[in-house]
Structure 1
Amino acid sequence: MSVRSAVLVAGFVLAALNLRPAIAGVSPLLDEIMKDVGLSPAGGGAVTTVMVVCLGVFGLVTPMLARSLGLDRTLLAGLLVIAAGVTLRGLDGAPVLYLGSALAATAIAVMNVSMPAVVKQHFPTRVNLMTGVYVASVVAGATLASGLVVPVEHATGYGWRGVSALLAVPALLAALLWLPQALRGRGQAQNGPRPFGEVLRSRVTWYVTALMGLQSLTFYVMLAWLPTIFLEAGLAADQAGYLLSLTNLVQVVTALAVPVLAGRRESQVPYVVGSGVLTVLGYLGVLLAPTTAPWVWMIVLGIGQGASFALALLIIALRPADPATVTALSAVAQSVGYVIAALGPLLFGFLRQVSGGWSVPLMAGLGVIVVQIVAGWFAGRPATLGKAYL
């Protein structure tokens, strides 16, 4: 591998690693943030809510940015804005906390949409492999951030503000590695995205959007509520946390392997259905026997959810014929998908409140996964964007 190729791959991987720490690093520090800034529980929860809303809304501006700046420069700008956002939110006062969080999440939204097109542009013959690398890096970034922010805070003595500012370091390093690609100016206006009309008229778009949104919904539901479910079932708090970490770690391995295998086939249907079935089994284990071999359920759930996420992004990269159309499809699928996903934890908690237990919410989650499998069946069939079929 040449030095130029090595820098390209390293910059790509480090950029992907920066797509979740600004979000995942909030929850472990949230109680301290609330006390320091003087926020109510609702105000504390609003920090994450603001970020998820930005993920859903601002990804739609990516095609316009890619048309004006090119994909490479758009990605570079996203990394710089992440660094600015996480630094800003560590300053004094609630307004800058929300503003900095919104800035970081907006940049992440733009990068979320850009990355599948970057894969198509820079690695056209290795879309399956690099999609796996991308997704595994995203999941690894989330896992590292959620697990390390508190130990880093204790080791450095910086407090939550200093730890938040430290998250700017990997973003700036990724920007430095990506700078050579941006300076070459690849992917400018002449290669910009096609109008949204073609994408919006295709049934492929809506199958992929449903798959992206529903698998994200089931993931965020488990991320938000799984430790609480285990706690109420009688497990210790530390064990509940370890189980959540286990399912996240399994997703790293799955996300790396599944796109490589699925990308070799013309149809991804068997993999999409299989990942959905495994997610169902994981949910059933949590529903029926949460304290009986819970680590087994977490491994099964991690395989299913990691594969589902990777497959949704792989299909986004495979179905369009060119990077420009990938950007447009990615914008629709991820923006609408994250809006759908944002509703999941809220509705899950509401069902828990009105039903008095976790059986009804988990059964509703099973219903969502069944619909996800159906959407994945159509999204996974071989088709070219704009020529979908039923």
Structure 2
Amino acid sequence: MSERKVRMSWALLIVGLVIASLNLRPALAGVSPVLDEIMGDLGLSAAGGGAITTVMVICLGVLGPLAPLLARRFGLDRTLMAGLLILAAGVVLRSAGSVPALYVGAAVSGTAIGIMNVAMPGVVKQHFPSRIGLFTSVYVSGLVLGAAAMSGLAVPLERATGYGWREVTAMAAIPAVLAAVLWLPQALRRPVARSVAPRPFRVLLRSRVTWFVTSYMGLQSLTFYIMLAWVPTIFQDAGLPADQAGYMLGLTHLAQVAATLTVPVLAGRARSQVPHVTVATLLTIAGYVGLLLAPAAAPWLWMVILGLGQGAAIALALLIITLRAPDPTSVTALSAVAQSVGYTLAALGPLLIGVLYQSSGGWTLPLLVGLGVCVLQLPAGYLAGRPMPPVEEEKAGPVGQRMDETPARHL
């Protein structure tokens, strides 16, 4: 292959990765800015409205483990493209305008996102083994940019086009189809042969490291999805107009980009990720406290602080998953365990907060519960981010790979 073709192939791979990553959150982030409209149109309660996100995140967690099975049969690249096409179908179905279609479409969309979430760390390990920190940064930044775009533009798109929530939320199918087309050259290639037999899940489940990583993944996801589902409503109840409330959610996603662009590169070079995890959690706590005590006093400040903390947290969780396994197959398996259990835990957040809000009549109790989850993130992050002692490394095998050796080899 000529040098020019190699460069074009490399560029297409990177563009495809970026566009695919942009599709990992819009289907989720596009619900909350128009949630009041959806609830009013379809006659849903606050708990029913929160259940839209809950259904998606449950499927994201419970059905995410399909990804290793699909990757083993069809390859990671084809699995990723299939996830994009399923996502487009689910988003369109969710926008059909009936309650059954809303929840079934949410389930299909959540399943697709779960498959792609699990596959992505393996895709990075497969295509960019010497630049894991950099390309983890690239795809996690794409993830939060996609969320920022949909959450910030949903209400302005309604006003500019005259469309309702059905048409605006259905627009998330367009970038999914585009990404599938761009990823087609990767999917048409023969799947990469495995150099080692896949490790059974029971080996992963016996490793303490798996559960440390899973706990951190779940708790940081729980605090994230609480905010994703309810931030616009919190600000509207504090007196902000609907469009400004949507902008607040978009702002926190934009602030996440600053963290996701830098934290994986820096943390991937470090022997221990504990300092990075600690700072990320403290920033998240500060954002929750601001929303609890004075949401309308400095909304931009709270959202920037919260975004920096949550952006760093998700980037660190995904980076640790990728660094802890030796090859794409093992990364995908560890990713499946951590994300399936983690996101299933996270799915309880929006529904629980909706129930607490409805029963208490305000945001004090729900935000105190969310703050308590943030505090639990600190010990979970410490256990997930610390280097393992030598004896633990020998017992844990590939999943317990030394974190001070991996960055030197991959970055």
Partner of 1:40: 44
- Contact 1:70–1:189 (Cα < 8 Å) also in 2: no
Matched, 1:270 2:252: no
Q: C-alpha distance in 1, partners of 2:371/2:163?
A: 43
Matched, 1:78 2:112: no
Residue 94 (structure 2) aligned to one of 66, 82, 89: 89
- Contact 2:57–2:110 (Cα < 8 Å) also in 1: yes
TM-score by structure 1 length? 0.89
SS of aligned partner of 2:313: helix
Matched, 1:253 2:258: yes
Q: Could you tell me how far 1:39 is from its partner in structure 2?
A: 4.5
- Contact 2:357–2:365 (Cα < 8 Å) also in 1: yes
Partner of 1:22: 27
Q: C-alpha distance in 2, partners of 1:281/1:45?
A: 24
SS of aligned partner of 1:244: helix
- Contact 1:51–1:101 (Cα < 8 Å) also in 2: yes
Per mean C-alpha deviation after superposition, the further-off stretch among 298-307 and 356-365 is 356-365
Partner of 2:309: 304
Residue 180 (structure 2) aligned to one of 175, 178, 191: 175
Q: Which runs of 5+ in 2 are unaligned?
A: 1-5, 403-411
Partner of 2:200: 195
Q: Could you tell me how far 1:143 is from its partner in structure 2?
A: 1.3
Per mean C-alpha deviation after superposition, the further-off stretch among 159-168 and 249-258 is 159-168
- AA at the equivalent of 1:207: F
Distance change in 2, residues 1:363/1:348 (3 Å) = same
Partner of 1:221: 226
- Contact 2:33–2:232 (Cα < 8 Å) also in 1: no
Q: C-alpha distance in 2, partners of 1:363/1:92?
A: 35
Per mean C-alpha deviation after superposition, the further-off stretch among 231-240 and 191-200 is 231-240
Q: Could you tell me how far 1:311 is from its partner in structure 2?
A: 0.4
SS of aligned partner of 1:321: coil
Partner of 2:325: 320
Q: Could you tell me how far 1:203 is from its partner in structure 2?
A: 0.8
Matched, 1:12 2:17: yes
Residue 106 (structure 2) aligned to one of 89, 101, 120: 101
Distance change in 2, residues 1:145/1:352 (3 Å) = closer
Q: C-alpha distance in 2, partners of 1:59/1:275?
A: 26
Q: C-alpha distance in 2, partners of 1:19/1:336?
A: 18
Q: C-alpha distance in 1, partners of 2:197/2:142?
A: 26
- AA at the equivalent of 2:211: W
Q: C-alpha distance in 2, partners of 1:29/1:69?
A: 37
Q: Which runs of 5+ in 1 are unaligned?
A: none
Residue 294 (structure 1) aligned to one of 283, 286, 299: 299
Partner of 2:405: none
Q: Could you tell me how far 1:100 is from its partner in structure 2?
A: 2.8
Residue 206 (structure 1) aligned to one of 190, 204, 211: 211
Q: Could you tell me how far 1:239 is from its partner in structure 2?
A: 4.4
Q: C-alpha distance in 2, partners of 1:252/1:154?
A: 27
Aligned-pair identity (%):
63
Distance change in 2, residues 1:162/1:386 (3 Å) = closer
- Contact 2:55–2:347 (Cα < 8 Å) also in 1: no
- AA at the equivalent of 1:335: S
Deviations 1:61-89 (A, max 9, x none): 11111111110110011111112222333
List 4+ stretches of structure 1 deviating above 6 A: 189-192
- Contact 2:194–2:329 (Cα < 8 Å) also in 1: no
Deviations 1:191-243 (A, max 9, x none): 67421111111111111111111111111222333344445555555544433
Partner of 1:135: 140
TM-score by structure 2 length? 0.85
Deviations 1:353-376 (A, max 9, x none): 566654444333333222211111
- Contact 1:67–1:191 (Cα < 8 Å) also in 2: no
Partner of 2:408: none
CA-atom RMSD, angstroms?
A: 2.7
- AA at the equivalent of 1:147: G
Q: C-alpha distance in 2, partners of 1:227/1:158?
A: 20
Per mean C-alpha deviation after superposition, the further-off stretch among 267-276 and 87-96 is 87-96
SS of aligned partner of 2:347: helix
Distance change in 2, residues 1:172/1:346 (3 Å) = closer
Deviations 1:134-156 (A, max 9, x none): 11111111111122234334444
- AA at the equivalent of 2:385: G
Distance change in 2, residues 1:276/1:91 (3 Å) = closer
Q: Could you tell me how far 1:316 is from its partner in structure 2?
A: 0.7
Partner of 2:335: 330
Q: Could you tell me how far 1:278 is from its partner in structure 2?
A: 1.5
Residue 63 (structure 1) aligned to one of 44, 62, 68: 68
SS of aligned partner of 1:59: coil
Deviations 1:313-353 (A, max 9, x none): 11011111111111111111111111111112333344455
SS of aligned partner of 2:64: helix
Q: C-alpha distance in 2, partners of 1:70/1:93?
A: 36
SS of aligned partner of 2:181: helix
Q: C-alpha distance in 1, partners of 2:368/2:111?
A: 33
Q: C-alpha distance in 1, partners of 2:303/2:43?
A: 33
- Contact 1:68–1:188 (Cα < 8 Å) also in 2: no
Q: Could you tell me how far 1:35 is from its partner in structure 2?
A: 6.0
Distance change in 2, residues 1:134/1:232 (3 Å) = same
Query: How many residues in Structure 1 have an aligned counterpart in Structure 2?
Result: 388
Q: C-alpha distance in 1, partners of 2:29/2:359?
A: 28
Q: C-alpha distance in 1, partners of 2:136/2:162?
A: 37
Deviations 1:292-320 (A, max 9, x none): 43332222221111101110011011111
- AA at the equivalent of 2:53: T
